[in-house]
A and B are shown apart, each in its own frame.
Chain A
Amino acid sequence: MTEWLNVILQGVLIGGLYAMFAAGLSLIFGVMRLVNIAHGDLIVLAAYVALMVTQTLGIDPLTSLLLVTPTMAIIGYALQRGLLNRTLGDDLLPPLLVTFGLSIIIQNGLLELFTADSRKLQAGAIEIQTFQVIEGVWVGLLPLIQFLVAVAVIAALQVLFYRTALGRAFRATSDDQPVAQLMGLDTRHVFGMAMALSLAIVAIAGVFLAVRANFDPAIGSARLIFGFEAVIIGGLGSMWGTLAGGVILGVSQAIGAQIDPGWQLLAGHLAFLVILAVRPQGLFPKVSG
């Protein structure tokens, strides 16, 4: 019994990480209907940026977020203004194919710079600290921090969306771009800010990913898929739904892995396909795709 409780708890905590993969994806889809195929590779890029920062400055990975997050945000803004804004329009193909090309470029660029060797960020003692919740059920400190950060990120996004001027601009552009423009909003800048924010979340997700497990340039596409599955399970446009989606995915994978290690990823995908079959709008939908 406690064995299964442990498994499910681990699944819930990793679900927080998946929710962070998903939040950035969901945010830019909500604001500009852009699906960023390079999202997973940007997460891996953030992990490598963190690797360089921690190695050159000799600081701890979590502290490095102070540098990695703004760096990724600037990259996001530049990417949106310089490249992705040109692809937006009625036609679906350009954004899809350009971000797909970007994904291949980032992946192979990282391969060229850092080789295919697995890397990991070392966070020191915090990595192995655990404590007992109830008799026989243990929680690692790092997974717990990661989950709480995910909840904080989602809550902050929620506040930003509904309580700030930038959030109002996001919602206005999302609802009706031409009218938002008529009201004096510079949508190119709004889109740039949305991508900056998305990549700031990507930075946090990338650092936690890199502390948790080994990473190499090829793992991006699987992270994109996890994020995407969490978005669809949770329902498009709902931030808390995204968190629920991440948790469902994480728990499914944990249960699958417990049954047979080969079933970990498969169980997650099957959970996604089942939800798609029985409730295609997701569990907590807000906007229609």
Chain B
Amino acid sequence: MSRIEHATRSSRIGVILIAVALVVLAFAPYWGDRQTLRLLAEVFTFVALASLWNLLAGYAGLVSVGQQAFVGLGGYLLFALAMLLDVHPIAAIFIAGPLGALVAIPVAALIFRLRGAYFAIGTWVVAEVFRLLASQISVLGGGSGISLPAAVVIAMAPSRQMREFEIYWLALALTVIVLAAIVALLRSRHGLALTALRDNEAAAQSCGIDVTRIKFLVYVLTAFGTAMIGALIFLQKLRISPDTAFSVNDWTAFVIFITVIGGIGRVEGPIIGTIIFFVMRQALADLGSMYLLIMGAVAIVVMLWAPKGLWGLIAERFGWQALPLQRRLVPATKLNETERKP
């Protein structure tokens, strides 16, 4: 029997490095100060958001500029569940995911009528509708927003330090879950279909892939993850308002720049992109709005001259992959040889 091999030498090294990094990061509360923990937790949420957007745009070809709809929805669901129904905030995060997916189903049914770039602006309209609706909900602060009541916050953990540790570990865990789910999806049968879709939609369709169904599936799954991360983000912030929850700059512009600079259509891209983004942000923080301008320019330059991003350049130059995603057929004869050897 022949076998499909996913791993290569570079991915074996990659997986070991990632495992080491995860162990180091899991112990961050013991070696990092409060500011480091906050920064790292923010980095994790952006890795997760960018990875989800990458799955949507890079693989399924659904270029959305309206994912802030689900970030904000997740945030508002957290506040609604915690404040109105007395749900524990951490439980609320895990409830926000399926509810986000549920909302995504009718949304997808509607905006999938738009093609290509018009789809992109359609997603933006949906996000605007969500923002305007949120500002009509007066029990959640209406247009001016609301803070999570102290009682809810204290219910999480009595001491402030413990709370911060909890949120940090939660951010790390959720990001790992999101990344693991994406890797598992890409290694599955659907992943093969998605990779085919990424490379050539028409060819994928002619091979019998139900393109619309898989796009729908990816859109709903992405909404699931994005709503969960959205809830987490606003648990970190402890305050929500329609403008911050549905901000196109924070939850879409940054996420797109991260993915494009790191490498769109590759799982490693958003991770590399987030690191570059945060290094640039720390370096250019004093420039104010000039910093966004520079980010926009860098993204344009990358898109035009290195459309596969930084990781794309590395992967093509050296043939590396940090995660075991590649499919290589190991013929039966070769397999038998290795098995015969003691």
Report the minimal beta-carbon distance from B331 to chain A, rounded to whole angstroms: 35
A92 touches B296 (CB 8 A): no
B57, B113, B264, B296: residue with the most chain A Cβ atoms closer than 10 Å: B296
A95-B117, A104-B296, A280-B113 provided; 14 other pairs, C-beta below 8 A?
Answer: A35-B117, A35-B120, A37-B117, A37-B120, A97-B63, A97-B260, A98-B303, A100-B256, A108-B289, A221-B248, A262-B143, A269-B129, A269-B132, A289-B114
Report the minimal beta-carbon distance from B108 to chain A, rounded to whole angstroms: 12
Asked if A42 lies at the interface with its beta carbon under 8 angstroms from chain B, I say no
Given A93-B264, A269-B125, A277 and B110 contact (CB-CB distance below 8 Å) = yes
Asked if B270 lies at the interface with its beta carbon under 8 angstroms from chain A, I say no
Q: How many residues of chain B have a CB within 8 Å of chain A? A: 44
- Name which residue of chain A comes closest to B257, CB basis: A101
Interface size class of A (residues with CB under 8 A): 35 or more
- 14 interchain pairs, CB-CB under 8 A: A35-B116, A37-B117, A92-B117, A96-B117, A97-B299, A103-B296, A105-B293, A105-B297, A109-B293, A225-B121, A225-B124, A262-B136, A280-B113, A289-B118
Interface string of B180-203 (1 = CB under 8 A from A): 000000000000000000000000
A289 touches which one: B116, B124, B133, B289 (CB < 8 A)?
B116
Q: Is the interface of A mostly helix, strand, loop or mixed?
A: helix
In the assembled complex, which residues on chain B have CB atoms less than 8 Å from the CB atom of A96?
63, 117, 120
Report the minimal beta-carbon distance from A144 to chain B, rounded to whole angstroms: 29
A35, A83, A97, A277: residue with the most chain B Cβ atoms closer than 10 Å: A97
> Which residues 105-152 of B have a CB within 8 angstroms of A?
110-111, 113-118, 120-122, 124-125, 128-129, 132-133, 135-136, 143
- Name which residue of chain B comes closest to A87, CB basis: B304
B297 touches A276 (CB 8 A): no
Report the minimal beta-carbon distance from B146 to chain A, rounded to whole angstroms: 17
Report the minimal beta-carbon distance from B324 to chain A, rounded to whole angstroms: 26
Asked if A112 lies at the interface with its beta carbon under 8 angstroms from chain B, I say yes
B303 touches which one: A34, A94, A112, A270 (CB < 8 A)?
A94
Asked if A123 lies at the interface with its beta carbon under 8 angstroms from chain B, I say no
Bound CA span A277–B106, Å: 11
A266 touches B121 (CB 8 A): no
Interface string of B211-249 (1 = CB under 8 A from A): 000000000000000000000000000000000000011
- Name which residue of chain A comes closest to B133, CB basis: A266
Bound CA span A225–B123, Å: 11
Report the minimal beta-carbon distance from B138 to chain A, rounded to whole angstroms: 10
Bound CA span A229–B122, Å: 9
B61, B128, B264, B290: residue with the most chain A Cβ atoms closer than 10 Å: B128
Bound CA span A82–B76, Å: 43
B116 touches A92 (CB 8 A): yes
Asked if B65 lies at the interface with its beta carbon under 8 angstroms from chain A, I say yes
Bound CA span A96–B264, Å: 14
Interface string of B265-300 (1 = CB under 8 A from A): 000000000000000000000001110110111011
